């Protein structure tokens, strides 16, 4: 099957700055791909190239087999990171406005309901909260029922319940056959949403895979965090017989297997140590991020 997006050896510069360096990425049709990476990693530049806003200096990009600028504009729904629609339109008028631009058949009521903005449809955009505004912006990007939806930081400023609604919407769009590319700094969001995650650092593509596969390969081992009532004595730390680091009264134990947690608790009990909290933490996509891109600028 032809991929939705094929990016081959793309590079781009702004003056003396390499925004992208020989990036190749394939986005299969019907997937959600999360783009993650530090500020300045090249995510927004890649999104702009993908949507035909700018042309790469070298390399090639096709969307559904065509150069982005040759596609019907309705084939791509784009939400930029910075987006300022007319402030004196109501929520309903705003969605209607972008619907009319594309001549799409998706109903305004359906879009308002999908982003959770039905109750605020008669309020001016400029009088809505930042999170409500962002929900409407997501609605404006999907009202044309595009085959490819590209969202740059779509849930910025949205409260947890609203974020869950947007995640559910994007998963439903994916299940209905749409292809979605999302940039985010929220590693929990990337892990929850993405069929695959693409990590950019310093303009280069560092890793691409399913979130769980990246965690298995680069996330490291599980950690135990202990918050004792008093600092641990050196001999207690020695008795734990694992690598221990401390910061602001919290001790982190690395490299334990689950069955060893009972031994840790037993050692603390024998030493008469009381603690406020002890937690077991599996590696996450955030650990992958720090491992592969934590030193990038």
**146-157 confidence digits (pLDDT tens):** 999 999 999 999
Whether 58 and 155 share a structural domain: yes
Residue finishing a domain among 187, 217, 247: 217
Residue 208 lies in a domain: yes
Residue 239 placed within a domain: yes
Are residues 159 and 63 part of one domain?
yes
Last-in-domain residue among 217, 245, 262 = 217
3-state secondary structure labels for all residues of the chain: CCCCEEEEEEEEEECCEEEEEEEEEEECCCCEEEEECCCCCCHHHHHHHHCCCCCCCEEEEEECCECHHHCCHHHEEEECCCCCCCCCCEHHHHHHHHHHHHCCCCCHHHHHHHCCCHHHCCCEHHHCCHHHHHHHHHHHHHCCCCCEEEEECCCCCCCHHHHHHHHHHHHHHHHCCCEEEEECCCHHHHHHHCCEEEEEECCEEEEEECHHHHHHHHCCCCEEEEEECCCCCHHHHHHHCCEEEEECCEEEEECCCHHHHHHHHHHHHHCCCCEEEEEEECCCHHHHHHHHHCCCC
The residue-averaged pLDDT of 42-57 equals 94
Q: CA-to-CA distance for 220 and 115, rounded, in angstroms?
A: 37
Crossing angle for the helix pair 211-218 and 285-293, to the nearest 10 degrees:
60
60 within domain boundaries = yes
- Same structural domain, 209 and 275: no
- Return the CATH number at 260: 3.30.70
197 and 266 housed in the same domain? no
The pTM is what?
0.88
Closest by CA to 106, choosing from 77, 63, 86, 66, is 77
Residues 134 and 273 in one domain: no
CATH number at residue 142: 3.40.50.300
Mean of the per-residue pLDDT values of the chain = 92
Kindly state the average pLDDT of the residues 11-38.
96
Domain span holding position 243: 223-281
Which segment of 158-172, 247-261, 272-286 scores lowest on mean pLDDT? 247-261
What are the angstrom distances between the C-alpha of 161 and each of 92, 116, 166, 287? 21, 10, 9, 25
Residues 244 and 211 in one domain: no
User: Which range among 19-33, 48-62, 230-244 shows the weakest confidence by mean pLDDT?
Assistant: 230-244
Residues 154 and 264 in one domain: no
In a shared domain, residues 192 and 248: no
Domain for residue 274, yes or no? Answer: yes
Average pLDDT over residues 269-284: 90
228 shares a domain with 210: no
Residue 94: per-residue pLDDT? 94
Please answer whether residues 72 and 147 qualify as being in contact, where contact means their C-beta atoms are separated by less than 8 angstroms: no
Residue predicted with more confidence, 249 or 178:
178
Task: Quote the number of domains for the chain.
Answer: 2
Are 263 and 157 contained in the same domain? no
- 233 and 207, same structural domain? no
Angstrom distance (rounded) from CA 284 to CA 245: 19
Residues 202 and 230 in one domain: no
Q: Where a domain ends, among 197, 217, 237?
A: 217
Whole-number pLDDT of residue 90: 96
The C-alpha atoms of residue 100 and residue 93 are separated, in whole angstroms, by: 10
**Euclidean distance between the first and final Cα of the chain, in Å?**
37
Q: pLDDT per residue over 52-93, tens digit each?
A: 999 999 999 999 999 999 998 789 999 998 888 889 999 999
Residue 142 lies in a domain: yes
């Amino acid at each position: 099957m032809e991929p939705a997006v094929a990016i081959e050896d793309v590079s781009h510069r702004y003056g003396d700055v390499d925004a992208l360096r020989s990036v190749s990425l394939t986005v299969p049709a019907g997937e959600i791909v999360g783009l993650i990476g530090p500020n300045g990693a090249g995510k927004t530049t890649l999104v702009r190239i993908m949507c035909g806003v700018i042309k790469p200096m070298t390399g090639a990009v096709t969307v559904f087999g065509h150069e982005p600028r040759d596609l019907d504009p309705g084939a791509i729904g784009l939400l930029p990171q910075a987006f300022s629609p007319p402030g004196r339109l109501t929520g309903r008028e705003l969605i209607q406005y972008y619907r009319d631009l594309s001549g799409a058949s998706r109903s305004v009521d359906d879009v308002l309901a999908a982003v959770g903005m039905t109750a605020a449809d008669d309020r001016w955009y400029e009088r809505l909260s930042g999170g409500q505004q962002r929900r409407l912006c997501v609605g404006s990007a999907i009202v044309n029922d595009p085959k490819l939806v590209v969202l740059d930081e779509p849930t910025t400023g949205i409260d947890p319940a609203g974020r869950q609604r947007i995640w559910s919407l994007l998963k439903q769009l994916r299940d209905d056959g749409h292809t979605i590319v999302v940039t985010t700094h929220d590693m929990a969001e990337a892990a929850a949403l993405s069929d695959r995650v693409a990590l950019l650092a310093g303009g280069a593509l560092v890793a691409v895979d399913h979130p769980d596969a990246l965690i298995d390969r680069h996330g490291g081992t599980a950690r135990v965090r202990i918050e004792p009532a008093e600092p641990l004595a050196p001999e207690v730390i020695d008795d734990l017989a694992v690598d221990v680091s401390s910061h602001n009264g919290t001790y982190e134990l690395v490299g334990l297997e689950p069955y060893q947690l009972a031994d840790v608790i037993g050692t603390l009990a024998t030493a008469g140590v009381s603690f406020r909290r002890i937690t077991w933490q599996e590696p996450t996509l955030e650990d992958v991020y720090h491992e592969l891109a934590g030193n990038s600028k």
